[in-house]
């Protein structure tokens, strides 16, 4: 996968923080509140993009001697340990006006009323599903530390909230900083607010190559290619939005076998820590999947795509985006491939082919021409397979862009509880995606909204948000796919 980190010295735009005045917002409290949170979200997203554009300059100031580098929420710095033994040595503030943890004794230190927040800087959490050793992840942590300049305008001890940014790499930055016991378990890309800002209604068919060559692994001792594809599929399932449909199809040179009939519908869940019972049977069949060691010809992608197109006929939402995600070692693409381009175009289906192997493929001109004609993609993701969701960034950028075109300057408001730091009174999450200049997804910014902030106006806020979204319904039947949507990246 192409890494968007440039370490050469270049003349880049240096983005400085503009101090935005609080806008004048006539109308009801509910409308004013929505307008102001939307204003804040757009300010944060603009800063995310500015940090990304200034990446090269910002990387120069991030090193082991810089005290302003990012702080892992679960790992105090050596300086903090030396200075204070075991507890934070940063300039913390007791949030004594915290009304979001009712029923606890405010006189007892350590309760929610007296949580220690660092209003000097944001803290970072990195899940086990990301790759903290990659250049992209490290560079992202470095550049987005400058978000603190905006975060400090949004949250103060007197006007407390949590403001955050979830990166497409999987890292999560939150302000004000707070020590956490578990960093590896918080995956932003599985969270309701992140999914809400990067999704449109869709049906996803995951095609997994189980041909004989998928038993191979790279010379550096990584996973067998099929295991890499299975891991990526498991994580992709957890990023689907409620009402999305999904099925898995295994294919080799002679068969294309779908796991279930009909496809499964993703269910709504109050928060992202709950299980996914609707995927139980899919997961079981996925776990059992083995490479075919009987037939050694290249796998038949045509039969697999035909099977996927048949599955779309059973999707009850005609307006849903149709997506085919292929996980393969790419061997099939080096020979004669018959793509059912007419059927794919008629169904307005977006095709992503992801090559998990380290070997660059010699794609035929006929294959690439047909693939680009329907706006498809062939991308080698070997470099980032340790972080599968980031490796499949093109898929999430595509859906997030479609969502963003619907919402434009509006923010998303998620009503489901999806808290991350021991609060139990979060009732809303405001969120919005941020993009690079080339249209690829950087991540999603957000603000927690607590019950006491709404002054009994939650119902009116829900009504206004629903009205704003009315008429902004996605309909894939109006979508046009062509060469402009095509990406070919073989190594």
- Structural domain contains residue 13: no
Residue 117 confidence class, pLDDT cut points 50, 70, 90? confident
Q: Do 385 and 421 lie in a common domain?
A: no
| Residue 191 belongs to a domain | no
More confident of the two residues 451 and 213: 213
Are residues 435 and 312 located together in one domain of the fold?
no
Tell me whether residue 293 is in a domain.
yes
Return the pLDDT at 284.
96
Q: Do 143 and 161 reside in the same domain of the chain?
A: yes
pLDDT digits (tens, 9 = 90+) for 129-171: 888 778 888 888 888 989 999 999 999 888 888 999 999 999 9
Instruction: Establish if 432 belongs to a structural domain.
Output: yes
Q: Which of 57-66, 262-271, 342-351 has the least mean pLDDT?
A: 57-66
Domain count, the chain: 2
Looking at every residue in the chain, the average pLDDT score rounds to 82
Between 154 and 220, whose confidence is greater? 154
pLDDT digits (tens, 9 = 90+) for 427-461: 789 999 999 999 999 999 999 988 778 888 888 99
**Domain co-membership, 172 together with 204:** no
Percentage of residues in the chain having pLDDT higher than 70: 80
Which residues, including other chains, have CB under 8 Å from residue 141's CB and lie 6 or more apart? 70, 124, 171, 173
152 lies in the same domain as 248: no
pLDDT of residue 78: 46
Residue 55 lies in a domain: yes
299 occurs within a structural domain: yes
Query: Do 276 and 338 share a structural domain?
Result: yes
Q: What is the pLDDT of residue 444?
A: 98
Q: Is residue 404 one of the residues assigned to a domain?
A: no
Are residues 160 and 210 located together in one domain of the fold?
A: no
- Domain membership flag for residue 405: no
Confidence of residue 110 (pLDDT cuts 50, 70, 90): very low
Structural domain harbouring 267? 197-399+478-489
Q: Are residues 116 and 248 both part of a single domain?
A: no
Whole-number pLDDT of residue 338 = 87
Mean pLDDT across the stretch 463-474? 84
Confidence check: pLDDT of 67 > 90: no
106 with 222, same domain? Answer: no
- Per-residue pLDDT band for 316 (boundaries 50, 70, 90) equals confident
pLDDT value for 17: 28
Give the residue-averaged pLDDT of 245-257: 96
Mean pLDDT, residues 73-84 taken together: 55
Residues 484 and 371 occupy one common structural domain: yes
pLDDT at 97: 45
Name the band, by pLDDT with cuts 50, 70 and 90, for residue 417.
Answer: low
Provide the CATH number for the domain around residue 372: 3.40.50.410
Angstrom distance (rounded) from CA 108 to CA 123: 25
Lowest mean pLDDT among 72-81, 178-187, 323-332: 72-81
Per-residue pLDDT band at 185 (split at 50, 70, 90): confident
Same domain, yes or no: 392 and 485 = yes
Q: Which two tokens stand for residue 171?
A: 């890292």
Structure confidence at residue 380 as a pLDDT band (50, 70, 90): very high
Read off the pLDDT of each residue in 122-130 and give the average, rounded to a whole number. 86
Q: What is the pTM of this model?
A: 0.86
Tell me whether strands 245-251 and 264-265 are parallel, antiparallel or unpaired: antiparallel
Q: 237 and 114 share a domain?
A: no
């Amino acid at each position: 996968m192409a890494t968007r980190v440039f370490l050469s010295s270049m003349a880049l735009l240096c983005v400085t923080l503009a101090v935005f005045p609080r806008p004048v917002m006539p109308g009801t409290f509910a409308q004013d509140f929505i307008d102001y949170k939307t204003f804040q979200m757009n300010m944060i997203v603009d800063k995310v993009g500015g940090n990304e554009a200034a990446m090269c300059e910002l990387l120069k100031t991030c090193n082991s001697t810089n005290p302003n580098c990012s702080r892992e929420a679960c790992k105090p710095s050596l300086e903090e340990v030396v200075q204070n033994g075991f507890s934070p040595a940063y300039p913390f503030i007791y949030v004594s006006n915290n009304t979001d943890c009712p029923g606890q004794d405010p006189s007892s230190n350590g309760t929610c009323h007296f949580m220690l927040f660092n209003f000097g800087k944001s803290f970072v959490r990195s899940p086990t599903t990301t790759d903290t050793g990659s250049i992209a992840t490290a560079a992202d942590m470095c550049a987005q530390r400058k978000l603190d300049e905006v975060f400090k305008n949004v949250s103060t001890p007197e006007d407390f909230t949590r403001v955050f940014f979830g990166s497409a790499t999987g890292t999560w930055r939150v302000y004000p900083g707070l020590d956490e016991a578990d960093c590896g378990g918080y995956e932003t890309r599985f969270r309701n607010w992140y999914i809400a800002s990067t999704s449109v209604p869709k049906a996803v068919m995951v095609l997994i190559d189980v041909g004989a060559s998928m038993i191979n692994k790279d010379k550096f001792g990584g996973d067998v290619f099929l295991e890499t594809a299975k891991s990526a599929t498991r994580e992709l399932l957890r990023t689907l939005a409620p009402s999305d449909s999904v099925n898995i199809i295994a294919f080799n040179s002679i068969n294309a076998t779908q796991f279930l009939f009909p496809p499964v519908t993703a269910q709504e869940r109050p928060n992202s820590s709950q299980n996914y019972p609707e995927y139980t049977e899919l997961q079981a069949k996925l776990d059992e999947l083995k490479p075919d060691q009987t037939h050694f010809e290249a796998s038949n992608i045509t039969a697999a795509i035909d099977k996927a197109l048949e599955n779309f006929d059973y999707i009850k939402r005609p307006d849903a985006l149709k997506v085919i995600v292929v996980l393969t070692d790419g061997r099939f693409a080096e020979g004669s491939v018959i793509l059912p381009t007419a059927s794919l175009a008629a169904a307005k289906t977006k095709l992503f082919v992801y090559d998990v192997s380290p070997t660059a493929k010699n794609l035929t001109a006929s294959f690439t021409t047909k693939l680009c004609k329907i706006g498809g993609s062939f991308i080698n993701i070997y470099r980032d397979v340790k972080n599968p969701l980031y490796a499949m960034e093109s898929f999430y950028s595509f859906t997030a862009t479609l969502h963003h075109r619907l919402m434009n300057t509006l923010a998303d408001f998620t009503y489901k509880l999806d808290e991350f730091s021991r609060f139990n009174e979060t009732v809303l999450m405001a969120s919005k995606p941020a993009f690079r200049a080339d249209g690829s997804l950087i991540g999603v910014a957000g603000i927690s909204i607590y019950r006491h902030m709404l002054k009994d106006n939650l119902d009116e806020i829900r009504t206004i948000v629903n009205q704003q979204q009315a008429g902004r319904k996605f309909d894939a039947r109006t979508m046009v796919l062509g060469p402009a949507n095509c990406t070919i990246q073989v190594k």
